[in-house]
A and B are shown apart, each in its own frame.
Chain A
């Protein structure tokens, strides 16, 4: 895929809303289009995966293993981001990611993104700001999940 096409795709992706054209160009230079078949494991819990993804189509489930079962804790769809911790470059993945249907995405190497941030603080600020927004949204959603709002009231008495 040509770089120009990638730029157009990136310009339309919600994650890059508000990015300057030169920042989108920089992202396009680092992007690699990838595809995952239905039910493919994209990365496993604990795995040292260095890739950050912007989902273009399809649906991805984040899963966590519990004794004897696997729980789906979140799904991500077109316009969302996957693997934000790769940009930090610390530790393994917190969840397993599985494609629930055919998934098209743009992949970015976390190490390259970090390098680009260090070389261009303006780009770094824009990227980290968006990542912080994603993390904040996920944190808020997780807190709401933990509240278990739909549990019967009697069960919630402590």
Chain B
């Protein structure tokens, strides 16, 4: 086996140092290597293969601050056996981590422009590192606009941070839920309805989108209708990733392996494949 393949397949032991409940079914775990070097630096948008011993291995986006060199942070929604086992870890427990893998949001290319982030549901997690990055390098960007949609108020991630980000200079954070109760006084409606409150400068905007694929398709239509060019639209795709390195082929999408060539793609790359039925 080549050294490169060995590195890809090498699992690092990591200790859970904190588990924070985000919603009724979603938790944020912070981990640090059990011994040796600090975790390998990651770029916004990349993911790790996280191994819950005896249960299974999962691709999980890194949701922490790229400038935090001490720990890796994952926001995980408990939807199946392996994710349930992962969010049930307690501080002190040990898991396995491979990576980081995959392509990153092109934050360098977005310098000097407005950064528009559109996230749905758990899709905010892989975009949070971009928000950290932009806020940390504020002079490199013009406006930061975050549009975030969730199923209901109780499904909103990072609620305190959303409020904090919204108070930052030249930053607009608009949050919506598909359904609200009487106690919710915020916006109600799908995330595309937030576009009516936006004044976009399409030629000066780079859009990063992550969420359910149908949501992303509708968001792209809104962006195109407002004049944002396909090459300025990026999205994070999800497919059934298994190996994280393009070996197994589970995540193939057209000519791409999502784990290796993605998960972040430009819309120009994805355009032929997004509208294909049953792909």
Contacts and interface: CB of A to CB of B under 8 A. Distances in A.
Nearest to B153: A72
Contacts of B218: 140, 144
A47 B156 CA distance: 34
B178 A148 contact: yes
Interface residues of B, number: 32
B162 to A, nearest CB: 16
Contacts, number: 79
A75 B177 CA distance: 10
Given A149-B215, A154-B80, A74 B189 contact: yes
A152 interface: yes
A150 B196 contact: no
B155 A150 contact: yes
Interface string A92-130: 000000001100000000000000000000000000000
A72 B182 contact: yes
A5 to B, nearest CB: 24
Given A75-B187, A148-B178, A152-B25, A141 B192 contact: yes
A45 interface: no
A61 interface: yes
Interface string A124-158: 00000000000001001100110111111110000
B214 interface: yes
A59 B187 CA distance: 9
Interface of A is mostly: mixed
A111 to B, nearest CB: 28
A73 B177 CA distance: 9
A70 interface: yes
Nearest to A63: B182
A7 to B, nearest CB: 23
Nearest to B78: A152
Contacts of B80: 154
Give the one of A75, A77, A145, A148 with max B CB within 10 A: A75
A58 to B, nearest CB: 12
A74 B212 contact: no
A74 B121 CA distance: 18
A18 B163 CA distance: 37
10 contacts: A62-B188, A70-B182, A71-B181, A72-B179, A72-B184, A79-B197, A145-B178, A149-B120, A150-B122, A150-B211
5 closest cross-chain pairs (CB), A and B: A150-B121, A72-B180, A150-B151, A149-B212, A152-B79
